[in-house]
Structure 1
Amino acid sequence: MGTTLTGQFETRREAEMTVERLVQEYGVDRASILIAAAGNENSAGEEQAGSDRAAGSPTPESRDDAALHGSIVVTVDLSDEELAGKVRAAFVEFEAFDVEQD
C-alpha cells in the first residue's frame, strides 16, 4: 500500500534542498515528487533565500521582485514505508511545516 507525504516550506531553497536529498541520497524517483506554490499565485516562498538573495561582490544591482506569495508545497508519492520515514526526516531537516501523510 502506498503513502503520500506533503510538507510546506517557507523558501524555494528549502523545498529544492529537500527534493535533492530525496533523489540523490534516498533514491526517490523525481517523477514521484510534485513541487507547487501553496496558493493560486506563482511563489518563490515566503522569504528570500538562495538565488533570490543578493550575491556577494561583484554583483548586479539588488532586486526586490521575488514572487513572495506564500509557501512552497512538496508532495511525495511512495510505495515503501521505510522510505517514508526518510522523507519525513528530510522534511524535518529542511524545516517543513504542516506535514501531512495520506
Structure 2
Amino acid sequence: MADDSTTTINAAFGTREAADLAVEHLVQQHGVARADIFVQSATSDNTSGFSPSGGDASHEREPRRDAPLNGEIEVSADIKSSLISTVQQAFGELGAIRVSDH
C-alpha cells in the first residue's frame, strides 16, 4: 500500500532569488502544488535575504541601499512523505542554507 501521508519540509535561503527558484523548481520539476508552498522571512523583520540578488542587485557603481537585507528567507512545503529525500536534495542543490522536515 502506498504511503499517502504528508509532511512539511523547511529550507532557509540567503536571497529572495534563490527562494523563488526553489519554489518554481518544486512546482515545475516535482509537481508540488503552489498552494502547498509558503515563503516568509525567517525572522520577524521584512527581508529580501541577507545579500542582494535579482532586482535587489545594483548594476550601477554604488550598491543599492533600499533592499531590506535583514536575514534569511524560509520556504516551507507540504509534500508527500515519499518526496522528502527528493525535495531535500533539490533544496540543497538550489543553495539552501538549512533543510529540515517535521
Same fold (TM over 0.5): yes
- Structure 2: any 5+ residue segments left out of the alignment? none
Do structure 1's residue 72 and structure 2's residue 76 form an aligned pair?
A: no
Identity of counterpart residues, as a percentage? 38
Give the total of aligned pairs: 97
Do structure 1's residue 27 and structure 2's residue 25 form an aligned pair?
A: no
Q: CA deviation at 1:85?
A: 2.2
- Structure 1: any 5+ residue segments left out of the alignment? none
Distance 2:21 2:90 in 1: 9
Distance 1:39 1:62 in 2: 24
The equivalent residue for 1:36 is: 40
TM-score, scaled to structure 1: 0.86
Q: Tell me the secondary structure at the aligned position of residue 22 of structure 2.
A: helix
Report the aligned-residue RMSD: 1.6
Do structure 1's residue 63 and structure 2's residue 67 form an aligned pair?
A: no
